[in-house]
A and B are shown apart, each in its own frame.
Chain A
Amino acid sequence: MPNAAELRKKPAPKLGHPSRRFRKAAGVVQFLAPVLGMLVFWEFLVRGGMLNGEIISAPSLIAARALVLISGAQDYILFQHIWRSLYRALGAFVLAVALAVPLGFWLGLSQKAYDWLSPPLSLLLPLPAVAWTPIFLVILGHGDITIVLVCFLGAVFPVLYSTIQGVQAIPRHSIWVLRSMGANPREVFFKVLVPASLPALLTGFKLGLAHSWRTLVAAEMLAALSRGLGFMIFAARQYLDVHTMLMGIVILAALGFMFEHLLLGVVEQVTVRRWYGSSRERA
């Protein structure tokens, strides 16, 4: 049954039309055209004096500033900022996974544990992770540890809840079948529990990484000492350095996009789609 999305697409080209690769390239160009148009329009507005260049700088200047910060003249400081941010976000994410996955497995498998521990956890759930920043600022002061802890708290809940859901959704029959054939707990764990919960786990990882990254930006603005993308953007405000601020935003967008699609997309491709894709074809 056709829906609005399909109607909105153009009809498929007939035989003899240019190859798929051309169409794909044309699609990319069509996607980028409005963006490029907007950038050109923006540049135009700033140079024409209609947009206050002090507050919103021209794209060309932003790119120029990026080049300056990458260069050796400033000690490659942009890379230092990026590296510090990545280090904090990924570190927090790894810690969150290390805690949340075992905890999630335990809570998913044991109904009693879930009933007892779920109320306090759901009390902490609606709390935005950034709200933990003042406490850690008082206890631990500014710096890496505060930021990593805040991002850890941001990432832990999505991963935990996805793991619990994934484990609770494992069909009990699979476990019983294996145990009736005499498998020991270790085999049950590796042959049933892990593969069956993997899609939910990967979804949780995606969410957790995204939350960790988003909390990182806010936490760095509040608590970083000297390095980090959030810090770079916020500190540039004091010098009214709009170029750096907007460039920081572009970099954040690029990194976020990279995380989402490349990093976890690859992992998903290699594991879940390979295992589940074939069964979907058969069915």
Chain B
Amino acid sequence: MALTITSSSQENTARLTLVGEVDGTTAPDLRIQVDKLLTSATRMLVLDVEQLTFMSSAGLRVLIFAKQKQPMLNIYVLKPQPPIVDTLRKTGFYDGVYVTDVEPDTGTAKA
């Protein structure tokens, strides 16, 4: 299944909506989008993954890439499905992101 990415950004917040699957084939597209969106001013990255059914190692590594590119970044993983939460927990990624079912307040991006 393919991956559809919708992106937007405003002030210090970048937002990506992911639909489909992030695997070894589609992860590079995600990485390119993240690379494009993040600027030195970006403090918050919101990944709306409600309609994402699978995220592979390659996809999770994009989160690391984002953190490395912008160390001050807070990553919000919005409405992930249980298998994705499970993978995030077991691999330790869970501790490095905010997993939430509630739309984060983009006006309060933390430093």
User: Do the two shown chains form a genuine complex with each other?
Assistant: no
Residues of A that sit less than 8 Å from B by CB: none
